[in-house]
């Protein structure tokens, strides 16, 4: 056999040996799973962990066994000697094993302690006024001992493992910020910010239209309502005419309303009816010489928060003339709340 043929055969062998599956995972035959070290050996939800050892390149699942909570990881980033993953938000606190399973069904169990840091995955509302109650959803909320926004401490009204209700204090100086949650494991901040309605740079509607805002609407009935709310006692009910099309909730300024320095966002909440509806949000400014529109979709049967950056939505606009929420096609009833500008 000549040297050229031998060389081609060797290249072919190497190509097959190094080939990966279509899913990008290493297809080398998995050997015995061996753990040398997990770092750190205790941590809270969301923390990044590294397991080192051997035979780890074909790991297909990672589960925290106390409540069978699966961990997410990128299988294509595994090596034979290391795998990186995070403690799942759903992992139950306390001592347990992390179970690693490879493509042949072989398993490796590594002892680990999940620390009881409180985590929040969702919250409603994220706007607040004095004494607003906020519902937090997450994990380890039953061991909350304190909830603070900067220098203001909230009252814990009720709590369970996956949900806590807090009441904001009567006075908060913060403009906005994350809540800091304290448990025996330590402090952890929420991933979302909470906005102080009283510190908005401009309020257009909270429980009512704020002077100089006025109702200039058409094609429906528009009024403050106790039917639904985000904060306070009322929202703005826009009953767009179901027999018409393109009804408009129009908020005109009795006098031109200057946008204060430092304003960064135009924000509002909207709650849809029985179907998702498209709405054009238009702001006319600079004494009606400019007009900017953004199309949004208001999901059915739930409150949704909208946050439009003023620099992108209304560039070079220094004052507000008119704000319009114009529905597409036949009307539905949509509720709006906390229409305002914030830092």
Q: What is the CATH number of the domain that holds 69?
A: 2.60.40.10
Handedness of CA 13, 18, 22, 27 (dihedral sign): positive
Cis peptide before 212 (omega within 30 of 0): yes
Which residues constitute the domain of residue 62? 19-114
Three-class SS of residue 183?
strand
Going by pLDDT thresholds of 50, 70 and 90, the confidence category of residue 209 is: very high
Six-digit token string for 79: 């090596």
* Contacts (Cβ under 8 Å, ≥6 apart) of 54: 31, 32, 33, 34, 36, 80, 81
pLDDT at 151: 86
pLDDT of residue 31: 63
Average pLDDT of the residues in 151-166:
96
| pLDDT tens digits for range 247-304 | 999 999 989 999 999 999 999 999 998 999 999 999 999 999 999 999 999 999 999 9
- Nearest Cα to 268, choosing from 337, 192, 320, 185? 337
* pLDDT, mean of residues 63-80: 92
From 197, 232, 249, the end of a domain falls on 197
| 224 and 172 share one domain | no
Kindly report which listed range (16-25, 29-38, 131-140, 306-315) carries the lowest average pLDDT score: 16-25
The rounded mean pLDDT for the chain is 91
Q: Is residue 7 in some structural domain?
A: no
Q: Are residues 215 and 313 in the same domain?
A: yes
Same domain, yes or no, for 214 and 277? yes
Distance, in Å, from the CA atom of 324 to the CA atom of 322, rounded to the nearest integer, reads 7
Averaged pLDDT for residues 78-83 = 94
For range 331-337, the mean pLDDT: 96
- 207 and 307 inside one domain: yes
Q: Is residue 274 part of a domain?
A: yes
Q: Is residue 53 part of a domain?
A: yes
pLDDT of residue 170: 92
How far is the CA of 251 from the CAs of 14, 167, 204, 322, in angstroms? 71, 32, 8, 6
Does a structural domain hold residue 75? Answer: yes
Residues 6+ apart with CB under 8 A from 325: 238, 248, 249, 250, 279, 280, 281, 334, 336
Please check whether residues 337 and 300 belong to one and the same domain: yes
| Amino acid 32: pLDDT | 87
Domain boundary among 148, 178, 197: 197
| 143 plus 235 within the same structural domain | no
Mean pLDDT to the nearest integer, 145-155 = 96
**234 and 187 fall within a common domain:** no
What is the CATH classification number for the domain harbouring 279?
2.60.120.260
Q: Is there a single domain that holds both residue 214 and residue 191?
A: no
**Domain for residue 4, yes or no?**
no
Please tell me the predicted confidence (pLDDT) of residue 16. 32
Q: Express as a percent the part of the chain with pLDDT over 70.
A: 91
pLDDT at 36: 96
- Name the phi and psi angles at 194, rounded to 5: -120, 135
Say whether both 124 and 182 belong to one domain. yes
Is 13 a member of any domain? no
Instruction: Decide: 247 and 326 in contact? Cβ < 8 Å.
Output: yes
| 179 within some domain | yes
Q: Could you tell me the strand order of the sheet in which 277-285 lies?
A: 213-215, 248-258, 319-327, 277-285, 290-298
- 101 lies in the same domain as 131: no
Q: Which residues contact 143 (CB under 8 A, 6 or more apart)?
A: 116, 118, 183, 184
Query: Which residue blocks in the chain are alpha helix, DSSP H?
Result: 3-18, 310-313
Question: Phi and psi for 13 in degrees, rounded to 5?
Answer: -60, -45
The burial class, CB within 10 Å (0-12 / 13-18 / 19+), for 75 is middle
Give pLDDT, residue 330. Answer: 86
Q: What is the pLDDT of residue 23?
A: 44
Residue 31 CA, chain-centre distance (Å), reads 41
CA separation for the pair 284, 7 (Å, rounded): 74
State the pLDDT at residue 18.
36
Domain tally, the chain? 3
Please tell me the predicted confidence (pLDDT) of residue 75: 80
Q: What is the C-alpha to C-alpha distance for residues 231 and 130, in angstroms, rounded to an integer?
A: 9
Give whole-number Cα distances, 248 to 77, 239, 268, 278, in Å.
52, 10, 16, 12
Statement to judge: residues 241 and 331 lie in one domain = yes
Per-residue pLDDT, 244: 81
Q: Are strands 265-271 and 333-342 parallel, antiparallel or unpaired?
A: antiparallel
Q: What pLDDT, in 10s, does the model give residues 166-196?
A: 999 998 999 999 999 999 999 999 999 999 9
């Amino acid at each position: 056999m000549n040297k050229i043929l031998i060389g081609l055969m060797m290249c072919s062998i190497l190509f097959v040996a190094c080939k990966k599956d279509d899913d990008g995972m290493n297809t080398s035959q998995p050997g015995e799973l061996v753990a040398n070290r997990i770092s750190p050996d205790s941590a809270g939800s969301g923390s990044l962990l590294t397991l080192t050892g051997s035979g780890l390149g074909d790991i297909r699942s990672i589960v925290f066994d106390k409540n069978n909570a699966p961990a997410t990881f990128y299988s294509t980033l595994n090596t034979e000697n290391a795998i990186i993953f995070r403690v799942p938000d759903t992992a139950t606190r306390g001592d347990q094993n992390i179970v690693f399973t490879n493509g042949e069904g072989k398993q490796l169990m590594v002892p680990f302690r999940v620390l009881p840091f409180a985590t929040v995955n969702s919250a409603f509302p994220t706007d607040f006024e004095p004494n607003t109650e906020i519902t937090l959803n997450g994990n380890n909320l039953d061991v909350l001992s304190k909830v603070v926004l900067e220098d203001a401490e909230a009252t814990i009204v009720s709590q369970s493992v996956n949900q806590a209700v807090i009441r904001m204090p009567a006075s908060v100086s913060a403009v906005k910020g994350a809540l800091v949650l304290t448990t025996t494991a330590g402090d952890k901040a929420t991933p979302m910010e909470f906005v102080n309605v009283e510190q908005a740079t401009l309020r257009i509607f909270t429980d009512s239209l704020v002077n100089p805002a006025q109702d200039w609407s058409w094609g429906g009935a528009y009024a403050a309502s106790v039917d639904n709310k985000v904060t306070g006692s009322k929202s703005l009910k826009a009953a767009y005419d179901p027999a018409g099309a393109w009804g408009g909730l129009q908020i005109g300024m009795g006098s031109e309303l200057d946008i204060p320095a430092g304003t960064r966002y135009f924000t509002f909440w909207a709650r849809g009816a029985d179907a998702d509806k498209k709405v054009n949000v238009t702001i006319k400014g600079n004494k009606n010489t400019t007009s900017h529109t953004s199309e949004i979709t208001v999901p059915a049967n739930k409150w949704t928060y909208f946050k439009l950056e003023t620099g992108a939505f209304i560039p070079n606009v220094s004052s507000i003339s008119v704000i319009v929420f114009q529905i597409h096609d036949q009307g539905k009833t949509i509720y709006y709340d906390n229409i305002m500008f914030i830092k």
